[in-house]
Structure 1
Amino acid sequence: MRKKVMLAEDDQDDQMFFKEAIGEISNEIQLQIKNNGEELMTTLINDHGPVPDIIFIDLNMPIKDGFSCLKEIKVSEKLKNCTVVILTTSNNKDHMDLAYKLGATLYVCKPNNFKDLKSVLNEIFLRDFTVSNLTGKMNYQA
């Protein structure tokens, strides 16, 4: 089954690693990458196709940060039920708590290497997010 995935990430290297990991996991994943939160939200609001199966958002982005995007997604009638994964370098407990309070499905600290990134993403894609209360913390930071 083909999955539609969006990534909002301003770091070009992180974008490349994410794209490569997705490519190795499955050719059934359609990935769109946005360079900041404003690009993400503009695309999500204006796209008349199906909403993404999973939206990955970095917290620290220029123009519009991940928290702002998460707030907008969760108040949007069109987007509020989307699976949103915060994928960030921040392992700050206050950031984690706020992300969950705002409606994040998962909060994941970015892995330090490609192998671990691929493993984390594979685990995420194997989860069934249609079952309620499947939020949780995944922290693969060394």
Structure 2
Amino acid sequence: MNIFLADDDKDDRIFFSEVLDEIPMKMETTEFPDGVGLMANLHSDKALPDVIFLDLNMPLMNGFECLSDIRQDEKFLDIPVIIYSTSFHPMEVERLEEMGATGYLKKPTSYNQLKTLVYKCVNHIKDLSSPEVNKEQKFIIFE
């Protein structure tokens, strides 16, 4: 599984990568400290990700702007986008769902919680890629 993580918090990126290393699945992670780098990579000739984990509060280009740009480009429509943020405001979450996010992973306070939630999230994404699964993506909140 090819995972893109866009998050301006270096510690959060480190924890996220460490959690992925502990999940018994072959995964490769590409990290971006802002949305501009993420979008530049998506528009390059490099392979597209299987999933994007997207922080909301980033410099240069925030998560809302990235999600909007991602969902406006036809070649990115099938890429699941999981919002990965410490903030959790019901109105924002509803807006993100309407914008086309696949899910919302609220950043937990402990490493073990993060591991559990990322594991659930990655399995959900894996299930979405299965041919037997209805491709109508349901928005899921991982908390």
Please report the TM-score for the alignment, with normalisation by the length of structure 1: 0.91
**Aligned runs of 1:96-107 on 2, under 5 Å?**
96-107=93-104
**Aligned runs of 1:44-59 on 2, under 5 Å?**
44-46=42-44, 48-59=45-56
For 1:13-62, what per-residue CA distance to the aligned partner results, in whole angstroms no more than 9, with x for missing partners? 1011001000011351000000000110011111x243111100000000
Percent identical residues? 32
| 2-structure distance, mates of 1:106, 1:133 | 13
5+ residue gaps, structure 1: none
| 1-structure distance, mates of 2:59, 2:47 | 27
**Aligned runs of 1:1-142 on 2, under 5 Å?**
3-26=1-24, 28-46=26-44, 48-127=45-124, 128-130=127-129, 131-140=134-143
| 1-structure distance, mates of 2:118, 2:142 | 12
Please report the TM-score for the alignment, with normalisation by the length of structure 2: 0.90
| 1-structure distance, mates of 2:94, 2:136 | 15
The CA RMSD over aligned residues, in Å, is: 1.3
| 3-state SS of paired residue (1:78) | helix
- Matching residue's letter, 1:69: C
Determine if contact 1:104/1:135 at 8 Å carries over to the other structure.
no
- Matching residue's letter, 1:53: D
- Matching residue's letter, 1:50: A
| 3-state SS of paired residue (2:100) | coil
Q: Which runs of 4+ in 1 moved over 2 A?
A: 130-140
Determine if contact 2:3/2:28 at 8 Å carries over to the other structure.
yes
| 2-structure distance, mates of 1:27, 1:137 | 21
